[in-house]
Amino acid sequence: MRLSRYFLPILKETPKEAEIVSHRLMLRAGMIRQQSAGIYSWLPLGHRILRKIERIVEEEQARAGAIQLLMPTLQSADLWRESGRYDAYGKEMLRIQDRHERDMLYGPTNEEMITDIFRSYVRSYKDLPLNLYHIQWKFRDEVRPRFGVMRGREFLMKDAYSFDIDQEKAVESYNRMFVAYLRTYKRMGLTAIPMRAETGPIGGDLSHEFIVLAETGESAVFCHADYLTKDVPGEDLDFSGDLTPIVKDWTSHYAATEDVVDMAEFERSVPEDKRISARGIEVGQTFYFGTKYSEPMGAKVATSEGTEVPVHMGSYGVGVSRLLGAIIEANHDENGIIWPASIAPFHVGLINLKPGDDLSDAACEALYAKLEAAGIEVLYDDTDNRAGSKFATMDLIGLPYQVVAGPRGLKDGVLEVKDRRTGEKELLSPEATFDKLK
Ligand code: ATP
Ligand code: MG
Ligand code: MG
Ligand code: MG
């Protein structure tokens, strides 16, 4: 991508309304624009990163056996009357009427709708287990939308729903999602700790919130320090095997959010030097709630003995858009964002210090073409902005590598390659630069 033809509206001033660093940096880097309280447009740079996060979520959902579909944002109130949640959900639900005065709502979550899909097609234990998910915009009319995409009103969520014949099988499904979550966050460079949690309006009795520790987190959390260094299963993990040992390991130490914490138990079970009492960001939550929706909504399946039973369900949310904020909170310095390579919008920022200079243009064009041909995403700054502003922009948007090409270095046949995270700089030939970046 040539910067001269891209749309990257960088802000020079720090926006006053932004209270936390991730919000400030997302606005300054031209990633998002607020359209109404808690409602954002995703500008090209922000949109690229959102898509990268989605890709990782999709890959890990697939690995764990979940199947992607897409449900609408608008739902009929009647479906929610069946579960009893239409009245119970309260003011967070945005209620709308269509021209025929039918009650509709902008979905805050999709348990009812997926249960409706399930009951319309699935009749037998032979079709189980089944796990269906989508990545779709949700709306919750939060009392206090704030911190940018961290607490929006419209936000992107991945929500998966599992269906099983009984509780034992449902817990196996739960475990697959639990482990998929460990892998998902890890791949984005985050350490997310599964913590005991309140189930809230989703309901149920088995639940974990996946929490990333951060000073700006909205909840107080209490956990054992060993969670910060625990191994996450690798790519070779067999999801059809027994995942109980992994889930046991990842729940063996104390970890709870403020809603459910028992301080006496925390202090009893965690040695003092291992106690973490901190703040955290909820980046996902898993629930097993049995027949809470299938029973009132009549989602039944025949067992191998031929009797009909309500299906056992769980639901599993990931805050896709919130993750951008959480990742920036964990990866930045005073100059800007430092994207983990797995979700960086581009891998390399190529800076032409002197567009119009034959040597600089030739070196940049050649490297740009070669990197693109190799499938490496490059943002090529071919503009005639000042050098200082080019450096500042690259640091702000936080691509893993910067390559600087200018007449002085090129006289000696070298480019400057900077690692954004460490700040280390090397002078390399164009060939060696390509080899380092590929
Ligand atoms: P919170 O406690 O932050 O209000 P929640 O517990 O109400 O979140 P869930 O119903 O568990 O949210 O939804 C699944 C995930 O969706 C959450 O773990 C979170 O990452 C994300 N999420 C929820 N509300 C918002 C929001 N207002 N803005 C952005 N992401 C959100
Ligand atoms: Mg909430
Ligand atoms: Mg919560
Ligand atoms: Mg939650």
Which residues, other chains included, contact 299 with Cβ-Cβ below 8 Å and sequence gap of 6+? 115, 118, 119, 122, 163, 293, 310, 311, 313
Binding site membership of 158 for ligand 1 (Cβ less than 6 Å): no
pLDDT at residue 237, rounded to an integer: 97
From the CA of 110, how far away is ligand 1's center (Å)?
13
From the CA of 92, how far away is ligand 1's center (Å)?
12
pLDDT at residue 425, rounded to an integer: 98
pLDDT at residue 14, rounded to an integer: 86
From the CA of 337, how far away is ligand 1's center (Å)?
23
Decide the pairing of beta strands 94-97 and 67-68.
Answer: unpaired
Nearest atom in ligand 1 to the alpha carbon of residue 209 is: 18
Burial class (CB in 10 A: 0-12, 13-18, 19+), 82: middle
Ion ligand 3: residues, CB within 5 A, are: 282
| Identity of residue 138 | K
Binding site membership of 285 for ligand 1 (Cβ less than 6 Å): yes
Which residues, other chains included, contact 231 with Cβ-Cβ below 8 Å and sequence gap of 6+? none
Integer-rounded Cα radius of gyration of the chain: 24
Report ipTM for this prediction: 0.99
Contacts 24+ apart (CB under 8 A), 27-30: 27/148, 28/336, 28/396, 29/336, 29/337, 29/396, 29/397, 29/398
Minimal-distance CA residue to ligand 1 atom 25: 151
Which residues, other chains included, contact 26 with Cβ-Cβ below 8 Å and sequence gap of 6+? 32, 46, 148, 149, 324, 325, 328
Alpha-carbon gap, residue 196 to 203, rounded angstroms: 14
What parts of the chain have a pLDDT lower than 70?
Answer: none
Decide the pairing of beta strands 415-419 and 425-428.
Answer: antiparallel
Side by side, the strands of the sheet bearing 401-405 are: 378-381, 348-352, 401-405, 415-419, 425-428
pLDDT at residue 416, rounded to an integer: 98
Structure tokens at 210: 């996946």
Binding site membership of 319 for ligand 1 (Cβ less than 6 Å): yes
pLDDT at residue 396, rounded to an integer: 98
From the CA of 386, how far away is ligand 2's center (Å)?
45
DSSP string, 224-267: EGGGGGPPPP-TT--TTS--HHHHHHTTSS-EEETTT--HHHHH
335 close to 396: Cβ distance less than 8 angstroms: yes
Element (H, E) at 126: none
Binding site membership of 282 for ligand 1 (Cβ less than 6 Å): yes
From the CA of 255, how far away is ligand 2's center (Å)?
20
Q: In this structure, which ligand is nearest to the CA of 151? A: 1
32 close to 145: Cβ distance less than 8 angstroms: no
The upper half-sphere exposure of residue 407, i.e. CA atoms within 13 Å in the direction of its Cβ, equals 6
Single pTM value for the model: 0.97
Is the sign of the CA dihedral 289, 211, 191, 161 positive or negative?
Answer: positive
pLDDT at residue 205, rounded to an integer: 73
Q: Is the peptide bond before 129 cis (omega within 30 degrees of 0)?
A: yes
Structure tokens at 364: 């940049």
Alpha-carbon gap, residue 318 to 158, rounded angstroms: 5
Alpha-carbon gap, residue 289 to 205, rounded angstroms: 6
In SS3 terms, 308-363 reads as EEECEEEEEEEEHHHHHHHHHHHCEECCEECCCHHHCCCCEEEEECCCCCHHHHHH
Neighbours of 95 (CB within 10 A): 14
Q: Return the DSSP state at 13.
A: S
Measuring CA to CA, which residue among 315, 288, 133 is closest to residue 207?
288
Alpha-carbon gap, residue 153 to 70, rounded angstroms: 20
pLDDT at residue 209, rounded to an integer: 97
From the CA of 317, how far away is ligand 4's center (Å)?
8
pLDDT at residue 202, rounded to an integer: 74
Alpha-carbon gap, residue 412 to 359, rounded angstroms: 11
Cα dihedral 250, 253, 257, 259, rounded to 10, equals 120
Which residues, other chains included, contact 83 with Cβ-Cβ below 8 Å and sequence gap of 6+? 111, 112, 115, 292, 293, 296, 297
